[in-house]
Structure 1
Amino acid sequence: MTDGISLADHKHPQTPSPLRWGISTVAAVALWFAVYGQLAAFSEWVVSWLPIATGSHLAEAAQFFIYDTPKVLMLLTLVVFAMGVVRSFFSAERTRALLAGKREGLGNIAAAGLGVLTPFCSCSAVPLFVGFVSAGVPLGVTFSFLIAAPMVNEVALGLLFALLGWKVALTYLGLGLAIAIIAGWTIGRLHLEGWLEEWVRNVRTETLELPVDDMALVDRIKAGLEAVRDIVGKVWIWIIAGIAMGALIHGYAPAELLASIMGRDAWWSVPAAVIIGIPMYSNAAGIIPVVEALLAKGAALGTVLAFMMSVIALSLPEMIILRKVLSLKLIMVFVGVVATGILAVGFIFNALFT
């Protein structure tokens, strides 16, 4: 009898209690924030120990890579986990009911507004984009967020206000939001969900094994961890490759050449600035000093802002990361629609402020 009970216990080991899962999750999130808050200091410390000259191009590139790599990967992990937990509360039918096509216009406005409140660079916004897409949020709505998050946020607006005044900052806010909303809405109207990569479409259409209303807390946490395993496991190498390219460009971009091109009084200066900006990568705080330097060297305001928008909303590293999620055709549509909006902003600013 006693032996039988012992065997049964071995066959059915006791699983961790929901309380233990909850405490462990809260502790892990607290640890995440503690580590995330030290990334900048950590990158500076690491670079200080490297055998490279302080303030050199190589030092700037190295610090950029050492800081952004864990930052973006940590953001991706946290957001995908959170979206995985959120997804556990919604069946496919419920998600479709909440995010139906008739609400897409309001969804674009809400997503763009959320982007204004999140001061992420383009590669940092990609994890949120992946989380939204995998959770079944309409594609056009996710693009509104992806455009607005790096391009129009309180960091960019605050610095523009301090450097160029409230008129420029307010005009930039209005036009930037217009690009994010209209571009996202346009992409949504094209119904290009079939141009997502196959693994993303599979994540979007997966059904949960348990009815969503019957899932326990432990099952929801496990759903988040499973989402991290599936999504982060597929995109991490693309993220590192994109940040490495961004770090090299960040450290070695020729500012003098950019100023000479954007300072010319020619119609093609705005398109040229957009083309030059796309291969580069920086966040709003990083690119604003470049904007100030270019303006001081005589570059036109609209041309410089078009360059700024292309750097932070259409960067090549961002495209490399998005390639794991989007087909080349969808990336080309995204670039074409957003670039058209940026060109319009450049010409409008040059007409209004020069």
Structure 2
Amino acid sequence: MQILISIWEFIQNQVLGMRWLNNLIGKGLSQLGININERVGGSIQFFIYDSMKIIILLSVLIFLVSYVQSYFPPERTKKIIGRSKGVRANIVGALLGTVTPFCSCSSIPLFIGFTNAGLPIGVSFSFLISSPLVDIAAFLLLSSIFGMKIALLYVIVGIILAVIGGLIIDKLGMENYVEQYIKDGKAVDIETPELSKKDRANFAKEQSLFTLKKVWLYVLIGVGIGAIIHNWIPTNIIQNILGSDNPFSVLLATIVGIPMYADIFGTLPVAEALFFKGVGLGTVLSFMMSVTALSLPSIIMLRKAVKPRLLITFVTIVTVGIILIGYIFNFFGYLIL
């Protein structure tokens, strides 16, 4: 057992966490006469290390995830979800969201396709909630920063939120609040050609490049904000605003996150800096979830597909769910950490 623990710690710290890279950058900066123990030097080290770590891991992980995703094109995904009924269908929809697009905006066209194909509205929403929140790449990146236990719990609560949110929308019978042009559209089932391993590898490569082009700026902005929080904002100020002593910290973090637009990959450096400044785990998770699941651009895009009442219901359910998750994790966080 001790051998397995040692192997996992090596993977956690050196492969996913890339501590060797942090040490290498620190030594390089010291050779250049930059004191990494001071604010400026520490900020430079944080920025270079986190940027390189996230982009390297992202490139590898998106390639692997996209290779898996090549087995789940939209037509096949619709057929898989269509075989299930009731709660099981919501669970399948939420789980399939973990191997599909990496942000809420790119998930919405698939959501429209599922709705147009006649899938229950609640199942489509389970997919829509899950897709930007949880995926394999996010899970491994979270593990590299917060550890396997927290990463696993994040994925679990994200899927639970997606399933419950979809079930509530289903029970409310809101099929009539989808825009008419989607109802009138005719779903076309196109037989998906079988891809060779080379085709799948090329698809994965294209997806990796496309995703990197889309998120690299958000990653750098997120790392920059994280470096400022980590090295320049005093811990007591952060804790006064978002610490466990502030009963409104989760609510504040959720509200602040909604206007922002970033993939989870750009949100991670900010979450990391807040976490290590003493912000409660639940508050950090609420911030991450609100940024990825409730960004303003995705809400605007979704409005083109659903009527205001359904949009408000969706936003309300997800917001309340995120806030509840935040307070639960803050209250029981000592059992996890």
TM-score, structure 1 length as denominator?
0.58
Contact 2:138 2:264 in 1 (8 A): yes
What do residues 282-318 of structure 1 show as CA deviations (whole Å, max 9, x unaligned)?
1122211111111123322110110100100111111
The equivalent position to 2:275 in structure 1, one of 295, 319, 335, is 295
The equivalent position to 2:152 in structure 1, one of 164, 170, 191, is 170
Counterpart in 1 of 2:300? 320
CA deviation after TM superposition for structure 1 residue 135, in Å: 1.4
What amino acid does structure 2 have at the position aligned with 1:166? M
Indicate yes or no: 2:260 matched with 1:273. Answer: no
The equivalent position to 2:164 in structure 1, one of 182, 196, 201, is 182
The equivalent position to 2:109 in structure 1, one of 118, 127, 138, is 127
The separation in 1 between residues aligned to 2:180 and 2:138, in whole angstroms, is 35
Counterpart in 1 of 2:135? 153
Q: Specify whether residues 293 and 168 from structure 1 end up closer, same or farther in structure 2 by C-alpha distance, changes over 3 A only.
A: same
CA deviation after TM superposition for structure 1 residue 351, in Å: 1.4
The separation in 2 between residues aligned to 1:86 and 1:346, in whole angstroms, is 35
The separation in 1 between residues aligned to 2:247 and 2:308, in whole angstroms, is 29
What do residues 53-109 of structure 1 show as CA deviations (whole Å, max 9, x unaligned)?
xxxxxxx9xxxxxxxxxxxxxxxxxx9xx75x789xx9xxxx9xx959x81311100
Indicate yes or no: 2:98 matched with 1:116. Answer: yes
Contact 1:119 1:154 in 2 (8 A): no
Indicate yes or no: 2:270 matched with 1:310. Answer: no
The separation in 2 between residues aligned to 1:123 and 1:113, in whole angstroms, is 18
- Size of the aligned set, in residue pairs, is 237
Contact 1:271 1:343 in 2 (8 A): yes
What do residues 135-157 of structure 1 show as CA deviations (whole Å, max 9, x unaligned)?
11111001111111111111221
CA deviation after TM superposition for structure 1 residue 345, in Å: 1.1
Indicate yes or no: 2:320 matched with 1:332. Answer: no
CA deviation after TM superposition for structure 1 residue 162, in Å: 1.8
Contact 1:117 1:149 in 2 (8 A): yes
Counterpart in 2 of 1:17? none
The separation in 2 between residues aligned to 1:167 and 1:327, in whole angstroms, is 39
Residue identity (%):
41
The separation in 2 between residues aligned to 1:207 and 1:172, in whole angstroms, is 34
After the TM superposition, which residues 1-354 of structure 1 pair with which residues of structure 2 at under 5 Å, given as runs? 99=82, 103-118=85-100, 120-203=102-185, 206=186, 256=229, 259=238, 261-263=241-243, 265-354=245-334
Return 5+ residue gaps in structure 2 as ranges: 1-50, 52-69, 193-213
The separation in 1 between residues aligned to 2:325 and 2:101, in whole angstroms, is 21
The separation in 2 between residues aligned to 1:142 and 1:172, in whole angstroms, is 21
The separation in 1 between residues aligned to 2:134 and 2:308, in whole angstroms, is 25
What secondary structure, in the 3-state scheme, does the structure 2 residue paired with 1:127 have?
A: helix
The separation in 2 between residues aligned to 1:262 and 1:268, in whole angstroms, is 8
Q: What do you get for the CA RMSD once the two structures are aligned?
A: 3.9
The separation in 2 between residues aligned to 1:200 and 1:146, in whole angstroms, is 16
What do residues 137-187 of structure 1 show as CA deviations (whole Å, max 9, x unaligned)?
111001111111111111221122221222212221221111011111111
Contact 2:222 2:268 in 1 (8 A): no
TM-score, structure 2 length as denominator?
0.60
The separation in 2 between residues aligned to 1:188 and 1:182, in whole angstroms, is 10
CA deviation after TM superposition for structure 1 residue 263, in Å: 3.3
The separation in 1 between residues aligned to 2:224 and 2:171, in whole angstroms, is 37
Contact 1:262 1:273 in 2 (8 A): yes
What amino acid does structure 2 have at the position aligned with 1:193? E
Contact 1:138 1:188 in 2 (8 A): yes
Q: Specify whether residues 259 and 153 from structure 1 end up closer, same or farther in structure 2 by C-alpha distance, changes over 3 A only.
A: farther
The separation in 2 between residues aligned to 1:182 and 1:346, in whole angstroms, is 16
Q: Specify whether residues 259 and 313 from structure 1 end up closer, same or farther in structure 2 by C-alpha distance, changes over 3 A only.
A: farther
